[in-house]
Amino acid sequence: KFPTKLRAAIDEEVDPGVVEGTDLRIVKYPHPSLRVPNAEITQEELDDGSISKIAKEMLLVMYAAEGVGLAAPQVGINKRLMVYNESGDRKKWLSEVIMVNPKIVEFSDATDVENEGCLSFPDMNGDVQRSKWIKVEALNLKGKKMKKKFRGWEARIFQHEYDHLDGTVYIDRLTEEGRSSVQPRLDELVADFGEGGAL
């Protein structure tokens, strides 16, 4: 089980609206950015500093929203980039992780079920089954390859953000019962968005 503080972080995410230091905004379901393919990031983009700038601004937005992770499509940028800090605490900046073009190379067969929320799905959450550990490959902001094994809470955050890079959102992983329980809230989000949403 997650420590209470981390569970609270899931439950108490807020919509930060305008965040000082960035023009990025969190897009809400059913914004099309959450469903379209996300492009691999090139070495050229890493070299020119544009991805580093986006990543730093994503962290600003994530902290303002009191979240623990954010994927680029959640701020309307369809690139394979994610940031997270498992503590959710901006003072613990050494725990910040920025991953470019990540991929999961191995999943555990063992799974667990925990309650998740998402900054793009305000005021709702649900139980999601995920692998207990994963092995991951990614690039850092300099284009250097990294390999990591994540367990528990960090593995869950990674899998949640990684799903966004494949156009998958956590409601896609809810049980039929879980989906039914959030459907009224989803209907509200769709109505608020208006024309052109991507379910």
Helices (H) and strands (E) in the chain, counts: 5, 7
Model pLDDT for residues 105-123, shown as the tens digit of each residue: 999 999 999 999 999 999 9
**Of 62, 65, 61, whose CA–CA distance to 13 is shortest?**
65
Q: If we measure between CA atoms, which residue out of 171, 162, 190 comes closest to residue 128?
A: 171
Question: Can you list the positions of beta strands (E) in 86-187?
Answer: 96-107, 111-118, 121-131, 133-139, 145-151
Q: Distance between CA 146 and CA 43 in Å, rounded?
A: 15
Q: Which amino acid type is present at position 17?
A: G
Give the model confidence (pLDDT) of 126-185 as tens digits. Answer: 999 999 999 999 999 999 999 999 999 999 999 999 999 999 999 999 999 999 999 999
Active site residues per annotation: 161
